[in-house]
Amino acid sequence: MMGLLALDALLLAALLLLVSAASQGSSRGTIPSTASLAGCSKTCGNLSFTYPFGIGAGCFRDPDFELICNNTTQPARLFLRDGDTEVLHDIGTTDTFSGSDGPDLRVAISHSRQMRSGVDVYNMSWRVPGRSFIGTRVIELSFIGCDFDIYLLDGVNSRELICTVNCPNDGIPESVAKQQCNGTGCCRSMFSRTVVSLELQFVRYDRGKSKTKGEMQHTNQSLLWDTIRVETYNMLLLWGIVLDRRNINCDAASNKTNYACVSDHSRCFDAYSGMSPSYQCMCHNGYAGNPYVADGCSRDRGYNPVEWKANCGRSCGNISIPFPFGLEEGCYARKQFQLRCFDMRSSGLALLSPLYDVIQQINISEGTIKTINRDEFSYAETQSIYAGSISTQELQWVVANLSCQEAQEDSATYACVSADSTCLGVSLKFSGYLGYRCRCLTGFHGNPYVRNGCQDINECETIPGICEGLCHNTIGAFYCTKCPHKTEYDANKMGCTPTNRQKSRLLLGIMIGLGVGFGVPLLGLSAVLIVLKWKRDEQKKQRRKYFRDNQGRGGHGTVYKGILADQRVVAIKSSKAIEQSEIDQFINEFQILELQG
């Protein structure tokens, strides 16, 4: 057992840090607020992080949450305080509105150990960097090396063989080995458990002959023979605020000065996932942001109506991508509207965050997205501004979880920026109010999310036959007028056509026919009729003149003007004498009066 080597320096370091963690953090007593954290850096390389994590004094809650940014590489890399556990994703809080991760940290570790002549057994250990963390769910590790059995130690006595790597005598290049990772130069292991540490043991196995010196002589194949390395390719750490002995749950913790859930509209919930009793903070339903910061939880502020990048890509194959959606940063209005065009030729478009879903169509006027390959998981992930059912393969979306009134209060973030647009609250049958979106006013169409996006609809052109007469478009509306003189509406032609041209032609034909048939007798008869009509008209004229000459007193009695209750003007004539012979005349005068009225 000579020369056995332990990697316990790490463990020792972790223990030391544990002690300091127990003595609480630097920011104890002061309530962190946006103002007090203003000077703290929020990014490292392309990763962002938020309080309780931070870099530098006063920027993190307690030492467990101190981060290290190593900027000797490009991009810079972010590590937890052990300097060994690398953070791979943004560190968010429970901010569903911005689509960032919850209290899960996706991390990676990478350890390597140089082989030593005559040493066949190597121990390697890793420990979560503080009581605030716990390794959770599926842990996937890969091992790169040659001729080793790899064991996971569980306590002092039990060990479990999890993986074996072997190599051909000449070895293979590391890149090839890693690509396949099928047991030749590289092997993978996946196990599902909750851990605070990983204790691994690598045992070089005997290939029959003693190769204690032999493997050192493989020259080119190099590293595979000279080192054994462990890398994670999937590992999540859950984090929480650790409770001490006197404060055993949220209720008790909430009375203490170092209570973590300091934001208005935030609450605490107990987390039972780890070894240490701990709690997490969350913004109330309808609020989002950072519950660990005094003014951290607010109503949804995730929407930014300004498209600040020029020349944004607005299509993917034949799918158009209207704002507020977009591909590049500065081209979309909120994180959840970011898309990725993964195949321009076949129109492959997908939502980027928080769900990966293939999109067929984005409909601005309906507030929908047509998708394919929906599954329950992605549905659950989208529930802040998207809603939909698995069956319809259609998602409804809103721009923010705000009421129209709330949204309009802040003109800097209000989404309906086009003139002639309006706000529309969206409620769902089962889950209730979702948020608001915009629409163009009736009579307009286009994109209400961009300036001057709503354009007048020319109803006369787009809806032929909308008027039974002449159609006149106006901005936002239209009106109808009757067909002009001597024309009438033709439903087939959807327009005004000259009146009865066909009918009058037919009439003319009949006239000619009749003329030819009856000839002169008819003409004579017509002449007689015309003369009679002329005479009658002359009589009427005479009477009218006579009436006028009598100044409102008719020949057969006095005429009175009267106004009825409904403002109608009437003329009343009283007859002087009632003689049968004069009754006809009297009625005639009535007709005349009616004409004049």
Ligand X SMILES: *[C@@H]1O[C@H](CO)[C@@H](O)[C@H](O)[C@H]1NC(C)=O
Residues lying near ligand X in the complex (CB under 6 A): 4-6, 46-47, 70-73, 75, 83, 89, 123, 153, 156, 170, 172, 176-177, 180, 182, 184, 201, 220, 251-252, 255, 285-286, 317-318, 346-347, 361, 363, 365-366, 383-384, 401, 403, 433, 435
Query: Shortest gap between Cβ of 430 and ligand X (angstroms)?
Result: 12
Between 324 and 554, whose beta carbon lies closer to ligand X?
324
Characterise 344 by phi-psi region: left (phi > 0), alpha (psi -120 to 50), beta (else). Answer: alpha
Between 418 and 496, whose beta carbon lies closer to ligand X?
418
Between 71 and 596, whose beta carbon lies closer to ligand X?
71
Between 177 and 496, whose beta carbon lies closer to ligand X?
177
Q: What is the number of the residue whose Cβ is closest to ligand X?
A: 4
- CB neighbour list of residue 356: distance below 8 Å, 6 or more residues apart: 350, 378
Between 404 and 592, whose beta carbon lies closer to ligand X?
404
Query: Shortest gap between Cβ of 348 and ligand X (angstroms)?
Result: 9
Between 26 and 123, whose beta carbon lies closer to ligand X?
123
How far is 148 from 167, CA to CA, in rounded Å? 10
DSSP string of 493-550? TTEEEETTHHHHHHHHHHHHHHHHHHHHHHHHHHHHHHHHHHHHHHHHHHHHHHHHHT
Between 172 and 494, whose beta carbon lies closer to ligand X?
172
Tokens representing 396 are: 């409804």
Query: Shortest gap between Cβ of 481 and ligand X (angstroms)?
Result: 29
Q: Is 458 helix (H, G, I), strand (E, B) or coil?
A: coil
Between 314 and 505, whose beta carbon lies closer to ligand X?
314
Between 150 and 496, whose beta carbon lies closer to ligand X?
150
What is the distance between the terminal CA atoms of the chain, rounded to a whole angstrom? Answer: 130
Neighbour count for residue 150 (Cβ, 10 Å): 23
- 339-343 and 348-351 beta bridge pairing: antiparallel
Between 426 and 470, whose beta carbon lies closer to ligand X?
426
Residue length of the chain: 597
Closest CA to 124 of 135, 138, 113, 139: 113
Between 24 and 166, whose beta carbon lies closer to ligand X?
166
Query: Shortest gap between Cβ of 54 and ligand X (angstroms)?
Result: 13
Tokens representing 346 are: 């076949």
Query: Shortest gap between Cβ of 412 and ligand X (angstroms)?
Result: 20
| Residue 552 and residue 561 in contact, taking contact as beta carbons nearer than 8 Å | yes
76 CA to centre of own chain: 31
Residue 453 is which amino acid? G
How far is 67 from 55, CA to CA, in rounded Å? 5
Query: Shortest gap between Cβ of 133 and ligand X (angstroms)?
Result: 19
Beta bridge partner(s), residue 112? 229
Between 300 and 589, whose beta carbon lies closer to ligand X?
300
Closest CA to 368 of 333, 330, 395, 339: 395
52 cis-preceded (ω within 30 degrees of 0): yes
Where are the alpha helices (H) located in 233-389, listed in sequence order? 250-253, 376-381
Query: Shortest gap between Cβ of 117 and ligand X (angstroms)?
Result: 15
Query: Shortest gap between Cβ of 366 and ligand X (angstroms)?
Result: 4
Neighbour count for residue 430 (Cβ, 10 Å): 6
Q: How many CA atoms lie within 13 A of 395 on its CB side?
A: 31
Query: Shortest gap between Cβ of 446 and ligand X (angstroms)?
Result: 11
- 133-144 and 432-440 beta bridge pairing: unpaired
Query: Shortest gap between Cβ of 34 and ligand X (angstroms)?
Result: 22
Query: Shortest gap between Cβ of 566 and ligand X (angstroms)?
Result: 50
Q: What phi and psi, each to the nearest 5 degrees, are found at residue 534?
A: -60, -40
Query: Shortest gap between Cβ of 83 and ligand X (angstroms)?
Result: 5
Which H helix or E strand runs over 226?
helix 223-226
How far is 532 from 105, CA to CA, in rounded Å? 108
| Residue 24 and residue 60 in contact, taking contact as beta carbons nearer than 8 Å | no
